[in-house]
Amino acid sequence: MQDPIIEELEKKFAGSVEFKKIDADQNMEMSAKYGIQAIPTLVIEKDGKIFKKYVGVTKSNVLEADLNEALK
């Protein structure tokens, strides 16, 4: 359910935002770093720090607003 939302945002923010998809089960180090305990978990980083973190499916308008805020 989250993938189509992310794909839409990748197109909107192409060249401005880097999107990465990580398999939490295959990358335990990253899971621990971000405290991932549920799937999906989305993290927006700014300047190497967590700007926002979402657990569960997150609506496009919420993500888009926070991405725009992070780009300021």
pTM: 0.87
Residues 22-72 pLDDT 10s: 999 999 999 999 999 999 999 999 999 999 999 999 999 999 999 999 999
Domains of the chain: which residue ranges? 2-67
Architecture of domain 2-67: 3-Layer(aba) Sandwich (3.40)
Q: Estimate to the nearest angstrom the gap between the alpha carbon of 5 and the chain centroid.
A: 11
| Residues whose CB is less than 8 angstroms from the CB of residue 25 and which lie 6 or more positions away in sequence, other chains included | 31
**DSSP-assigned letters across all residues of 32-60:** HHHT--SSSEEEEEETTEEEEEEES---H
